[in-house]
Amino acid sequence: MEKTMVKIKVADYHSLPERAGQTVAVNEEEIILFRLTNGEVKAVENHSPHRKGGTLTAALVSGPYIYCPVYDLKISLEDGKVQAPDKGKVKTYQIEVSDGDVYLII
């Protein structure tokens, strides 16, 4: 059986701060939206992959990566993988921007 994809409006594109995270809640999950300097919007779960946990709300953005504000893990916004020498992964979400609206595809 094929899963149906659903688009949920989560933000107005122009209200997203550039290079800073904005937290949204969707289906009881906290998700952070990041608007990159190239205009793309990326989304990841708001949970640090570090074994002690934490959030990524205040993550620093550099190109297609974010840096965990507490543990300084470098995390790819493309696939959620923590970069070597560290290990781990965060959940990423598909985003679509249309007519100034930002949609999460689930």
Confidence at residue 4, expressed as pLDDT on a 0 to 100 scale? 83
Residue numbers of the domain that contains 38: 7-105
Give the pLDDT of residue 102.
98
CA 22 from centroid of its chain's CA atoms: 9
With respect to residue 54, please indicate whether it lies within any of the assigned structural domains. Answer: yes
Is 59 part of any domain?
yes
| Residue 68 domain flag | yes
3-state secondary structure 17-67: CECCEEEEEECCEEEEEEECCCCCEEEEECCCCCCCCCCCCCCEEECCEEE
In a domain, 18, yes or no: yes
Total domains in the chain come to 1
- Is residue 37 a part of any domain in this protein? yes
Please list the ranges in the chain whose pLDDT falls under 50.
none
Question: Can you give the pLDDT at residue 1?
Answer: 64
Is 1 within the bounds of a domain? no
CA-CA distance, 35 to 37, in Å (whole number)? 7
**If phi over 0 gives left and psi between -120 and 50 gives alpha, with beta otherwise, what is residue 70?**
alpha
CATH code of the domain in which 32 resides: 2.102.10.10
Does residue 53 lie in a domain region?
A: yes
